[in-house]
Amino acid sequence: MTQQVLVLICFLIVSGALLLIFQIVFHSTKKEREISPTTVNRYRVLFFAMLGVILGVLLLFTLPRSPYLLFAHEQPEKIIAVVTRQFSFALSDESPEKKWTPTESTSGIVLPAAALVEFRVSSQDVNHGFGIYDPENNLVAQVQSMPGYVNRLRVRLKKPGIYNIFCLEYCGLTHFIMRTSLEVR
């Protein structure tokens, strides 16, 4: 079962539960009755306690898988500097602070499979997106490319093949041509 199907199933279950709750509340308001404020406050406390427990459990399950903690104690085997500029990417093993000119080559990056790679992404003009897609065109990771700031994205590219990189932030009229690729062997 793919992750998208699992998310769809979870969404349908939660939506069904919410629909059931709304139906119960709708049918319970047809009867006129007196409700004391202490009963209402008890339900509110119970509701917020349940909500706190649910959100706490979700936080405990998702926080360790966040990209900031996933590879925090490992040193990257390869560091790739990525400089974006309308409407192209420049990938190199050099410092991201180096000024890039449009005549530089952006192809030829080959990475070892399953190696921890750190992409240091910055922009020379406007905000751009940096999205890495695996050989089956599934989004692997993404980060913003912003002028004056270097974002660090650590990722393991496990499958050998050609990984496409697209700009995921609309950056101008020819945004659609802003793409490059790298190879994983």
Residues 21 and 91 in one domain: no
- 151-156 sheet: strands from edge to edge: 88-92, 78-85, 116-123, 151-156
pLDDT tens, residue order, the chain (185 aa)? 788 888 899 999 999 999 999 998 888 887 777 878 888 899 999 999 999 999 999 999 888 877 777 787 889 999 999 999 988 999 987 654 555 554 444 557 899 999 999 999 999 999 999 999 999 999 999 999 999 999 999 999 999 999 999 999 998 899 999 999 999 99
Q: Are residues 179 and 102 in the same domain?
A: yes
Domain assignment of residue 93, given as a range:
72-184
Model-level pTM?
0.66
The percent helix, strand, coil of the chain (3-state, each to 5) is: 35, 30, 35
Statement to judge: residues 53 and 109 lie in one domain: no
Residues 107 and 163 in one domain: yes
Rg (CA), the chain: 24
Residue 149 vs residues 78, 88, 110, 168: alpha-carbon distances, Å? 20, 18, 25, 17
Tokens of 129: 């997106």
The answer on 159 and 171 residing in a single domain is: yes
Closest CA to 109 of 138, 82, 149: 82
Same domain, 128 and 154: yes
Query: What is the number of domains present in the chain?
Result: 3
Alpha-carbon gap, residue 167 to 180, rounded angstroms: 9
Pair 84, 135 in one domain: yes
Residues 89 and 101 in one domain: yes
Tell me: do 18 and 45 sit in the same domain: no
Give the CATH number, domain containing residue 100.
2.60.40.420
- Same domain for 127 and 48, yes or no, is no
- Tell me, yes or no, whether 81 and 147 share the same domain: yes
Q: In sequence order, what are the residues at sequence separation of 6 or more whose Cβ sits closer than 8 angstroms to the Cβ of residue 54?
A: none
Q: Which residues pair with 120 in a beta bridge?
A: 81, 152
